[in-house]
Amino acid sequence: MKSNDIEKRLERAFSAAAPDDFDSVLRDCSEQKGNVIVMTEKTKTARWARFAAAAAVIVFMTAGIFGAAAYRVNYAVDSMISLDVNPSIQITVNQKERVLDVTPLNDDAAVVTGQMDFKGSSLDVTVNALIGSMLRNGYLSDAANSILVSVDGRSADRNAALQERITREIDTIMRDDLLPGSVLGQTIENSDSLTALAEEYGITKGKAQFISRIIDKNDKYAFDELAGLTVNELNLIASSAAQKPEEITATGSASDKKYVGEEAAIKAAADHAGLKPSEMEIIKCEYDIEDGVMVYEVEFVSGGYEYEYDIDALTGKVLKSDKELDDDTQAAQAAVQTGASAEKPEKLIGEAAAKAAALGHAGLREGDVSGLKCRLGREDDVMVYEVEFVSGGYEYEYDIDALTGKVLKSDKELDDDAQTAQAAVRTGASAEKPEKLIGEAAAKAAALGHAGLREGDVSGLKCRLDREDGVMVYEIEFVSGGYEYEYDIDALTGKVLKDEKELDD
Amino acid sequence: MLSLISADGAAAENNAQLDSLIAKIALSDKQALASLYRQTKAPVFGYALSVLKNPYDAEDVLHDCFVSVYQAAPSYRSMGKPMAWIITIARNLCMQRLRDASRTDQVSWEETEDYLKANDGVSTEDRLTILCCLKRLTDMERQIVLLHAVCGFRHREIAAFTELPLATVLSKYHRALKKLREYFNGEDGFGEKQ
C-alpha cells in the first residue's frame, strides 16, 4: 500500500466522520450579532482589569524600590527584551522604556499578542499585559510555569538591572495569580554564532543562548534536539541534571505536573522488567529528551544485569528498554567460563553472528550494505539484536534472537531518505533501482506539453530529481516568452503535480 | 476537497480562497462562514480527535473553533497560511480541554466505536481506519499524520507548528505510516514477531 493511498484513506475517513452541525455554530455566532468585536473587547477589559491593577501596584512598587537606580542608569540605552514560554515574543523599547514594537515570533505568540497595540506603552504595562494574556490563554499554567526573560542592550550593567527587574515583576504577577512560577533571566552576550543559530531555528537569541548554555554543561544534547522544546521542558532538563547554567538566574522550579513523576517512571520500568523496586539498585532517574519527546531516563542494576529504560514522561509508557550483562558479571562470567557458576546468564550469540544472520536472510554481503547498525535490545521479553542497514535503495530492519540467532522479525522498505535516493540516481550506479522512474526526458516532455511549448521555444531548461512530501518528483524550470515556468512532475507517473507560471524579472 | 492541498499551485490557490472567505467572515458574512466550515471541518475535527481521542470533545472543539473563527476573523492577518491559523485556534481549544479534564478522563474505545457506527456516512473501512489511528499511533505520531494527510500541512510546516525538528517530524511520520501500512495490509509483512 503506497503512502499516498494511506493518506487518502485517512482523509476520507476523517472527512466522513466530521459532523455537520453548522447550525449550532451559526446560533452561537448570531447570539452575539453586531457586537462580536465589542464583546471580545469587553471580556478582555474585564479580565484585564485585574492585571492592570496588578500592574499599577507593581509599577508603584518598582518605582519605590528601583526608582533611584532607575533614574541613574535606565534611560541610557535602547534595549530588546524577549519573553520565551512556548510563545516567543520580542519587545523593543526606546531610551525612555517606551515600547517601540512587540513582535510575536511564532503562532502561539500571535495568539498571546492578539489585537493588543503596545506602541508607546511603558515596558512594565506591556510585560504585565503579555503575562496576563499568557496566563489567560493557558501558556503559563501550573503544568508549565517557566518563562525565560532575555535582555539585550548596549550596556551590561543596564541589561542586568533590567533583567532583574522584569524577572522579579513577572514572578510577582504569577504569585498574584496564585501560580508559583519559575522565571529564568539572562542577558544576551552578543555573538554572531548565536544570531546565526537563532535565525536557523527560528527562535529568539535568548532561547538560543539558553540552549547553548545547557549544551555547554552537558554535551550529550544536540542543539536541534532542544530547539523544539518549550522553556518549561528546557528548564526541567537543565535542573534535572543539576547543572543549571550559572549565568542564568532563576526563581522557583519548573513544573513537572504534566508528567507522571519519577516514582511512576521507576515503577513502569520495574513492571516491564518483572522486578520489584526492592530488587533494583537505581543508578539514575532523570529527565531526558528522545526524538523530541520528554522521557525519564531510568537506569538500574538487578541480578547481574544493567537495565536502561526510556519512559515517556507524559504517559508513563515504556519507549525503550535495554538489558545487558553488568560489566562485573561479564568479567566474572569470563573468569568462570569453564567452571559451574551459580547463576549463569544465558549465552548470547554476539553481534557478528547476529549481523551474519540478518545479511544471510537478506541475501547480501557486508560489502553490499551501508549504515550497518547492531544493538542489543529486548522485544516482547526476548533478548534480540536489532540489526539495521541500507542497500540498493531499501532499508532493512531485523530482530535476531540473541540466544538462538533466529530471525524473529524482518522488514524491508524503500529508503525514504531523499538524499540517498537522489545520490543513487545521480550516480546511476544503483544496481536495483527501487521503482521505475519515467526519466528526465519524459518529465520535460510532460512539463512542456502542459505549457503548450516545444523544447526549442524555451531557454534555461533545468530538470532535477527531488522528493516532495514523500513523492519522487522531477523539478523542472524553464523560461519562455518572458515567463518563468516551474513544474513538479511525479517521477513515477509523469503527472503534473505543480505548475507555476510567472513574469520573468 | 482538501486533497488539492497536496499540490503546490493548488495549495496556494486554496489558501487564497480560504483567505478571502475569512476576509468576508470579518464583515460578518455568515455565508462565507458556512463555506469555510464545510471546507475545513474535516481537518479541524480530525485534528481535535487526534489530540483529545474523544469524539464528543472533538465535536465541541469543532463547534467552538468556528465560533472563535467568527469572532477573531477581524484580527486575522493573512500570512498565506489560513489553515495554520484555524488549526492553531483548534489547538488552543484542545489544550484548554486537556487542562480542564483530569488526566484519566478518557472515553473508551467502545464508545468511540459506537459514535462512529451511529454515523451512516462512516463506512466500516473509515471506522477501522480512525480506530487504528487512535489505538496504534502515539499521540505525536497521530498528530503529525493528521496534520499532513488531513490538514494538508507540509512537513516543514508541521515542524514549525509542533516546534519539533524537521528530522523528527519526518521520522515519526514514516514510522506512523509504517504502522498504518502494516495494519491495513492485515499482517506484519513476512516473519511475524513471536
Residue that the C-alpha cell 526519466 belongs to:
A439
- Across the interface, whether the CB atoms of B193 and A12 are under 8 A apart is answered no
Of A34, A107, A143, Cβ closest to residue B161:
A107
CB A388 within 8 A of CB A444: no
CA A148 to chain centre: 18
Q: pLDDT for A249-294, tens place per residue?
A: 888 788 887 888 888 888 888 888 888 877 888 888 888 888 778 8
C-alpha cell at B27: 464583515
CB A250 within 8 A of CB A164: no
**Any residues with CB less than 8 A from the CB of A351 and at least 6 apart, and which?**
A374, A376, A385
Residue of chain B whose alpha carbon sits nearest to that of A224? B165
pLDDT over 70 percentage in chain B: 88
Residue of chain A whose alpha carbon sits nearest to that of B149? A7
Number of Cβ within a 10 Å radius of residue B72: 21
Candidates A435, A464, A426; CA nearest to A3 is A435
The conformation of residue A493, written as its DSSP 8-state character, comes to: T
C-alpha cell at A227: 530547539
Number of Cβ within a 10 Å radius of residue A242: 8
CA A132 to chain centre: 26
C-alpha cell at A399: 530482530
B174 touches chain A (CB under 8 A): yes
Q: pLDDT for A365-414, tens place per residue?
A: 888 888 888 888 777 777 888 898 888 777 888 888 888 888 888 887 77
Shortest Cα distance from A29 to chain B (angstroms)? 6
User: At A462, which helix (H) or strand (E)?
Assistant: strand A459-468
pTM for this prediction: 0.40
CB A322 within 8 A of CB A308: yes
Name all domains of chain B by residue range, CATH numbers in brackets: 2-184 (1.10.1740.10)
Q: pLDDT for A149-176, tens place per residue?
A: 998 887 778 888 888 888 888 888 888 7
CB B33 within 8 A of CB A25: yes
Mean pLDDT of chain B: 85
Q: Is the pLDDT of residue A123 over 80?
A: yes
Q: pLDDT for A336-354, tens place per residue?
A: 444 433 333 567 888 888 9
Q: For position A435, what pLDDT does the model report?
A: 60
- Across the interface, whether the CB atoms of A10 and B194 are under 8 A apart is answered no
Number of Cβ within a 10 Å radius of residue A2: 14
B4 touches chain A (CB under 8 A): no
Q: Is the pLDDT of residue B158 over 50?
A: yes
Amino acid in the structure at residue A500: E
C-alpha cell at A132: 496576563
How many angstroms separate the CA atoms of B174 and A49, rounded?
Answer: 49
Residue of chain A whose alpha carbon sits nearest to that of B47? A14
Provide the pLDDT confidence category of residue B50 given band limits of 50, 70 and 90: very high
Which B residues 118-147 touch A at CB under 8 Å? Answer: 119, 121-123, 125-127, 129-130, 133, 139-140, 145-146
Radius of gyration of chain A (CA): 30
Residues of B in Cβ contact (< 8 Å) with A411: 189
Provide the pLDDT confidence category of residue A61 given band limits of 50, 70 and 90: very low
B98 touches chain A (CB under 8 A): no
The conformation of residue A8, written as its DSSP 8-state character, comes to: H
Candidates A388, A475, A362, A465; CA nearest to A421 is A465
Q: pLDDT for A184-223, tens place per residue?
A: 888 888 777 888 888 877 788 888 888 888 888 777 778 8
B185 touches chain A (CB under 8 A): yes
Number of Cβ within a 10 Å radius of residue A145: 23
Residue of chain A whose alpha carbon sits nearest to that of B140? A293
Question: What's the angle, vertex CA B152, arms to CA A86 and CA A414, rounded to 5?
Answer: 100
Which B residues 56-95 touch A at CB under 8 Å? Answer: 59, 62-63, 66-67, 70-72, 74-75, 84-85, 88-89, 92, 95
Q: Residues of B77-104 as b/e, b for ≥16 C-beta within 10 angstroms?
A: eeeebbbbbbbbbbbbbbbebbeeeeee
Of A25, A33, A314, Cβ closest to residue B66:
A25
Of B34, B95, B160, Cβ closest to residue A138:
B95
Strands A318-325 and A394-401: unpaired
Of A17, A227, A407, Cβ closest to residue B119:
A17
Q: Which of A6, A11, A38 to mutate to test the interface with B (most CBs of B within 10 A)?
A: A11
Name all domains of chain A by residue range, CATH numbers in brackets: 3-34 (no CATH), 38-250 (no CATH), 262-335 (3.10.450.40), 351-414 (3.10.450.40), 434-503 (3.10.450.40)
Of B6, B123, B194, Cβ closest to residue A408:
B194
| Residue pairs spanning A and B at CB distance below 8 A | 202
Q: For position A403, what pLDDT does the model report?
A: 84
- Across the interface, whether the CB atoms of A16 and B123 are under 8 A apart is answered yes
Provide the pLDDT confidence category of residue A42 given band limits of 50, 70 and 90: very low
Question: What's the angle, vertex CA B89, arms to CA B85 and CA B94, rounded to 5?
Answer: 140
Provide the pLDDT confidence category of residue A484 given band limits of 50, 70 and 90: confident
Q: How far is residue A197 from each of residues A109, A191, A216, A223, A408, measured CA to CA in Å?
A: 20, 10, 15, 9, 44
Q: pLDDT for B101-121, tens place per residue?
A: 654 456 788 888 999 999 989
- Across the interface, whether the CB atoms of B6 and A497 are under 8 A apart is answered yes
Amino acid in the structure at residue A55: A
Q: Which residue has the higher pLDDT, B125 or A470?
A: B125
Of A26, A115, A413, Cβ closest to residue B75:
A115
- Across the interface, whether the CB atoms of B42 and A18 are under 8 A apart is answered yes
Residue of chain A whose alpha carbon sits nearest to that of B91? A108
Query: DSSP letters along A347-391, please?
Result: PP--HHHHHHHHHHHHT--GGG-EEEEEEEEEETTEEEEEEEEEE
CA A396 to chain centre: 27
How many angstroms separate the CA atoms of A250 and B18, rounded?
Answer: 44
Shortest Cα distance from B9 to chain A (angstroms)? 5
User: At A11, which helix (H) or strand (E)?
Assistant: helix A3-17
How many angstroms separate the CA atoms of A109 and A230, rounded?
Answer: 13
User: What is the predicted ipTM?
Assistant: 0.89
Q: In sequence order, what are the beta bridge partners of A310? A: A297, A320
Mean pLDDT of chain A: 77
Q: Which of A3, A14, A38, A471 to mutate to test the interface with B (most CBs of B within 10 A)?
A: A14
- Across the interface, whether the CB atoms of B125 and A25 are under 8 A apart is answered no
Q: pLDDT for A448-472, tens place per residue?
A: 988 888 888 888 888 888 877 777 8
Q: pLDDT for B23-46, tens place per residue?
A: 999 888 899 999 999 999 999 999
Q: Is the pLDDT of residue B147 over 90?
A: yes
Of B45, B67, B127, Cβ closest to residue A29:
B67
Residues of B in Cβ contact (< 8 Å) with A292: 140, 164-165, 168, 172
Torsion of CA A30, A32, A37, A38, to 10 degrees: 160
Amino acid in the structure at residue B11: A
3-state SS of A123-135 is HHHHHHHHHHHHH
